[in-house]
Amino acid sequence: LAWLIIPQEWRIPMFNGAMDFTSWRLFLALCALPEFTAFLVLSWFPESPRFLLSKGRSDEALDVFRRIYSLNTGESPDSYP
């Protein structure tokens, strides 16, 4: 990817010429996309039940167990044993 992007000779002036957006900045932005995507995805994950139980938040841990049960079996979370 770097071999294709970095050797390019172009500049896009930004902020009234105070900064040029060059090919290496594009390369850095493209390399950061997977990490940014992972950050967004991981922020939606619930805390682990083990962590919640260790912090004394057993009701929240039970909700996570119910959600896991529902996703794995396809049954209602209310039918969790």
Q: How many CA atoms lie within 13 A of 40 on its CB side?
A: 6
Average pLDDT score, the chain: 88
Proportion of the chain in helix, strand, coil states, percent, rounded to 5: 65, 10, 25
Over 90: is that where the pLDDT of 66 sits? Answer: yes
31-54 pLDDT per residue, tens: 999 999 999 999 888 889 999 999
Whether 16 and 33 map to the same domain: the answer is yes
**pTM for the full predicted model:** 0.55
Whether 1 and 23 map to the same domain: the answer is yes
Q: Look up the domain containing 25 and give its range.
A: 1-45
- Dihedrals phi, psi of 51, to nearest 5 degrees: -65, -45
Whether 37 and 52 map to the same domain: the answer is no
Whether 50 and 81 map to the same domain: the answer is yes
Whether 52 and 40 map to the same domain: the answer is no
Structural domain total, the chain: 2
